[in-house]
Amino acid sequence: MEERKPQWLKVRVQANQGKIKVERLLAKLALPTVCQAAGCPNLMECYSRKTATFLILGQVCTRRCTFCNIRKGRPERVAADEPARVAQAVAALGLKHAVITSVTRDDLPDGGADHFAKVITAIKAINPETTVEVLVPDFQGDVSALTTVVTARPTVLNHNLETIPRLYPAVRPDADYHRSLALLRQAKTVNPRIHTKSGVMVGLGENEDELVQVFKDLRAAGCEALTIGQYLAPSRHHHPVIEYVAPAQFRRYQDIGLELGFRHVAAGPFVRSSYRAAEMVRD
């Protein structure tokens, strides 16, 4: 039986003009965000700051991850004009840092890598001062697909490990822990100057030793930035929350991460992979 949600995980929802402006712009350009699709608890705050994580390549995923609220099934056709629409939104919002992610598209020969590259290029063409972060799938280990994305020169290459290896069969049945680590390592091989980043959830059934080993594996792969957040089950049909981790433990994880050599660590109950992402590219 799932634990009752503690007081520190209760968010006061309050609408404001910043949120309304972002929603109207995204609707006008027919652009979904992962903030909406994944039911992110930070949606109000990020929209109020005029930021959003753009979700490209449709809204239907080919993977069966049990933690995720994004729809699964047969994906839509790739929209050729999407890169231009994302670039327009970045300009209209005046973003200094744009975050781009996608559903996993195992149905596409390159996993959507070329589309990612086109979005990066389109953003830079009309927003040359904007830094771009891409949160990518694993491309099934295809090095040429990863190279296509990295060669487009995003500032940050983010790929989430999500959880410890032991829980992959239950949480990420179509993914592979070592394949994901290899992707982060390979990104540095293609472009040693690219910033690499990853994120994990807690409360899925891991213990501290297992999680710290993930931190060490990420550092060994050259990863520089880390996000750690509380898993919140989107529904009773998803993987259950095994534990609500106390804020003090998040502070401990942050300290451990910094001691291991990560340049940036964001840890807390509401931290998500793109939460205040612009702050994590600053030295």
Q: Delimit the domains of the chain by residue range.
A: 15-281
Tokens linked to 43: 């949606």
Q: What is the mean pLDDT of residues 51-74?
A: 88
136 vs 68: which has the higher pLDDT: 136
Question: Which regions of 211-263 does DSSP assign to beta strands (E)?
Answer: 225-230
Kindly write down the DSSP assignment for every residue of 1-38, as one continuous string.
-PPPPPGGG-------HHHHHHHHHHHHTT--BHHHHT
**What string of DSSP letters covers 108-155?**
STTTTHHHHHHHHHHHHHH-TT-EEEEE---GGG-HHHHHHHHHT--S
Q: Which helix or strand (DSSP H or E) is residue 213 part of?
A: helix 208-220
Interval 206-255: pLDDT, tens = 999 999 999 999 999 999 999 999 999 988 899 999 999 999 999 999 99
Closest-CA residue to 261 (of 227, 228, 224, 214): 224
- Does 15 or 269 have the greater pLDDT score? 269
Please report which confidence band the pLDDT of residue 3 belongs to, taking 50, 70 and 90 as the band edges.
low
* % of the chain residues with pLDDT over 90: 67
Element (H, E) at 44: helix 43-48
- Amino acid identity at 80: A
One-letter amino acid at 155 equals: T
Nearest to 238 by CA among 200, 270, 204: 204
Are 123 and 115 in contact by the 8 Å Cβ rule? The answer is: no
pLDDT at 18 over 70: no
* Domain covering 15-281, topology: TIM Barrel (3.20.20)
Better-scored residue on pLDDT, 11 or 252 = 252
Cβ 218 vs Cβ 196: under 8 Å: no
- Number of neighbours of residue 111 by Cβ within 10 angstroms: 26
- Is residue 53 over pLDDT 90? no
What is the value of pTM for the model shown? 0.89
Confidence of residue 1 (pLDDT cuts 50, 70, 90): very low
- What's the number of CA atoms in the CB half-sphere (13 Å) around residue 187? 33
Is 244 within 8 Å of 5 (Cβ atoms)? yes
Reduced to 3 states (helix: H, G, I; strand: E, B; else coil), residue 270 is: coil
Residue 246 phi/psi, 5-degree rounding, is -70, 150
